Amino acid sequence: MFLKNPFAVLLFFLPILLHGQEEKKKLKDWIESSLVVEMDIAKEFKSKDFQKTELLLQPEFTFKKSKNSKFVFKGQIYMDFNDKLEAGEPKEATVSDFSQRLFIGDRLNFELREFYWYTNIHKKLRLTTGKQQIVWGETDGLKLLDIVNPQNFREFVLDDFENSRIPLWSVKAEFDVKDIGVQWIWIPDNTYHITQDFDAPFFTKNLIQMPPEGVPFMMEKVNKPNRFIADSDIGIKLNTFVKGWDLSLNYLYYYDDLPVLYTALNMDDIGNPSIAVVPKFEREHLLGGNFNKVFGSAIFRGEIAYIFNHNFSSIDQGTVNGIESSGQYKSAIALDYIKGEYFLSFQLFSDLIISDISAYNRDKFETNTSFKFSKEMMNDNLTAEMLWVHNANHGDGYIRPQLSYWLSSNSQLFLGSTIFYGNENYLFGQFQDRSRVSLGMKWGI
């Protein structure tokens, strides 16, 4: 049992790591601490109800034993006074035992966000061991390569990526081979996306193909991998810099963070039909990379990925268990422009199913676009920005305007809104009743 828990392993080796040969220092000389306190209130336009009233405390401690090593702890105390985004106490069936949050009642939970040891061995090998976030992608609004860590969809895609990512117990090793940087990752943590229940504000109903009217269905317990070694994720990233181009090649062998929803038709003794839905996580291979280059005041960047044999829910009645598989090609091409206090960014996302299959609730070729604008004002104390994400196939999307103002060097005020639009049968349009206005404040101590 001890070897199955990376948390216990890390705690076991921590005293050894701390016991170095460097000159001993007083505790206060090598500890840095900080605390971020954030309050956020959101009210829905249609229902006039508060969608959330949350308080977030994020303490952080960094223990620097030497210039080549450090230990980082980041915790989180989260309280939602409305208890709507995650009503009650979530079961977290897709989260490993040693990554689950600690719930105190329905409105308060504690989470170990990051807990890792970083060391630079002889200035050649950079090793990070413990619970951490590993970021591969750089897109805004939507993700493409940034899939190493799963995500909590408590607020769909509206939460900051850093806050919505679920850190994993993992090992990251980085070193250089001539002009090529190598990053190798091993993730034995069997934690996957946290999705919401049927009655939650951001339950993504458009992903589930409902049975014909009058036919009952039952969602069975999720089939989740649990073998520490055999079910680990493994990845490698190679990056280099050639003639002004920053390039990377990425490969990930992993379990898709969303389960495949296998369906089975059952008949009772008198011939009445029912459908059983069996969620099961399946292995995938991803091969991709990213690129970017600066051209004066502009940055041209992009990400590409090919997923081998991705599983799709199918509308073809002749398929086995309601699932069809195909290779899937994804790309994101972006152009950023910076001029003085102005920032403009345009992104074009493409998603192509290679094989001739009948995927549920999507086209063979899907296109999303995003436009981001921001302007600094009042000596950079006030920032006005807007993000617009739009699906060209179905005409749905969302718009997020926001104002942020620095009250002091360590406190910031936010006023914003999120407006969903489009047909309720599609990804963004299904949340048109969740359009909201929000007010928040953040303090750093």
Query: What would the pLDDT profile of 98-124 be if each residue is shown by its tens digit?
Result: 899 999 989 999 999 999 999 999 889
Beta bridge mates, 170: 130
Residue 232 lies in a domain: yes
Q: Which of 1-10, 23-32, 123-132, 301-310 has the lowest mean pLDDT?
A: 1-10
Render the burial of 12-51: b for 16+ CB within 10 Å, e for the rest. eebeeeeeeeeeeeeeeebeeeeebbbebbbebeeeeeeb
Instruction: Give the Cα separation of 352 and 364 in Å (integer).
Output: 6
Instruction: Give the Cα separation of 41 and 53 in Å (integer).
Output: 5
For the four alpha carbons of 194, 199, 200 and 202, in that order, the dihedral sign comes to: positive
Instruction: Name the one residue in this structure whose structure tokens are 């990251």.
Output: 172
Please choose, from the candidates 61, 72, 65, the residue with its C-alpha nearest in 3D space to the C-alpha of residue 18: 65
pLDDT at 3: 42
Mean local confidence (pLDDT), 342-349: 98
pLDDT > 80? residue 29: no
pLDDT at 26: 65
Instruction: Give the Cα separation of 14 and 17 in Å (integer).
Output: 5
**Range(s) of the domain holding residue 115:** 2-332
Beta bridge mates, 235: 185, 252
Please choose, from the candidates 174, 198, 201, 196, the residue with its C-alpha nearest in 3D space to the C-alpha of residue 185: 174
Residue 258 lies in a domain: yes
Instruction: Give the Cα separation of 373 and 309 in Å (integer).
Output: 37
Largest CA distance in the chain: 80
Q: Which helix (H) or strand (E) holds 178?
A: none
Residue 419 tokens read as: 């407006």
Please choose, from the candidates 307, 363, 362, the residue with its C-alpha nearest in 3D space to the C-alpha of residue 330: 307
For the segment 155-212, what is each residue's pLDDT rounded down to a tens digit?
Answer: 999 999 999 999 999 999 999 999 999 999 999 999 999 998 888 899 998 888 877 7
pLDDT at 121: 92
Residue 414 lies in a domain: no
Which of residues 224 and 267 earns the better pLDDT score? 224
Instruction: Give the Cα separation of 19 and 32 in Å (integer).
Output: 19
Residue 111 lies in a domain: yes
Burial environment of residue 310 by CB neighbours within 10 A (0 to 12, 13 to 18, 19 or more): buried
CA-only gyration radius of the chain, Å: 23
Instruction: Give the Cα separation of 324 and 311 in Å (integer).
Output: 6
Contacts of 167 (CB under 8 A, 6+ apart): 99, 113, 114, 131, 132, 133, 149
For the segment 248-270, what is each residue's pLDDT rounded down to a tens digit?
Answer: 999 999 999 999 999 888 877 78
Residue 340 tokens read as: 């003085």
The amino acid that residue 403 corresponds to is: L
311, 322 Cβ separation under 8 angstroms: no
Instruction: Name the one residue in this structure whose structure tokens are 């972006």.
Output: 334
Under DSSP, is residue 141 helix (H, G, I), strand (E, B) or coil?
Answer: coil
pLDDT at 15: 45
Under DSSP, is residue 97 helix (H, G, I), strand (E, B) or coil?
Answer: helix
Mean pLDDT of the chain: 91
pLDDT > 70? residue 27: no
pLDDT band at 247 (very low <50, low <70, confident <90, very high): very high
pLDDT band at 19 (very low <50, low <70, confident <90, very high): very low
Residue 133 lies in a domain: yes
Residue 341 lies in a domain: no
pTM of the model: 0.90
Q: Measuring CA to CA, how many Å separate 418 from each of 2, 42, 197, 293, 388?
A: 46, 10, 22, 32, 10
Residue 244 tokens read as: 């002004």
Instruction: Name the one residue in this structure whose structure tokens are 């360590």.
Output: 410
**High-pLDDT (> 70) share of the chain, %:** 94
pLDDT > 60? residue 7: no
Residue 422 lies in a domain: no
Instruction: Give the Cα separation of 29 and 253 in Å (integer).
Output: 42
pLDDT band at 218 (very low <50, low <70, confident <90, very high): confident
Mean local confidence (pLDDT), 135-153: 94
Residue 10 lies in a domain: yes
Q: What are the counts of helices (DSSP H) followed by strands (DSSP E) for the chain?
A: 2, 22
For the segment 197-209, what is each residue's pLDDT rounded down to a tens digit?
Answer: 888 899 998 888 8
pLDDT > 80? residue 340: yes
pLDDT band at 20 (very low <50, low <70, confident <90, very high): very low
Q: Which of 53-57, 104-108, 262-266, 380-384 has the lowest mean pLDDT?
A: 262-266
Mean local confidence (pLDDT), 15-19: 47
Instruction: Name the one residue in this structure whose structure tokens are 């036919």.
Output: 215
Burial environment of residue 208 by CB neighbours within 10 A (0 to 12, 13 to 18, 19 or more): middle
Instruction: Give the Cα separation of 115 and 74 in Å (integer).
Output: 6
What is the domain count for the chain? 1
Instruction: Give the Cα separation of 26 and 8 in Å (integer).
Output: 27
For the segment 60-85, what is each residue's pLDDT rounded down to a tens digit?
Answer: 999 997 888 999 999 999 999 999 99
